Amino acid sequence: MTDIKQAKILMIATDGVEQVELEQPRDKLRGEGATVDVATPTGKEIRG
């Protein structure tokens, strides 16, 4: 299993996602040392 500090994670989110549902896991993963990027299917900003 890959060490979390070496992990590169891509989170994909769409319009309507709750901010907390996106930020909490992202921040937790980053806090553990993972590299986390957030993307959308359209490449545009997310609208909650």
**Which residues lie below 8 Å from residue 31, measured CB to CB, with a gap of 6+?**
none
Backbone angles phi, psi at 16, to 5 degrees: 95, -5
Residue with the larger pLDDT of the pair 1 and 36: 36
Provide the 8-state DSSP code for 11. E
Band (46; pLDDT cuts 50, 70, 90): confident
Residue with the larger pLDDT of the pair 48 and 16: 16
The whole-model pTM stands at 0.82
Distances (CA, A) of 6 to 17, 25, 30, 36: 27, 17, 11, 11
pLDDT per residue as tens digits for the range 4-42: 999 999 999 999 999 999 999 999 999 999 999 999 999
pLDDT of residue 47: 81
**Which residues lie below 8 Å from residue 15, measured CB to CB, with a gap of 6+?**
40, 46, 47, 48
Q: Work out the widest C-alpha separation in the chain, in whole angstroms.
A: 35
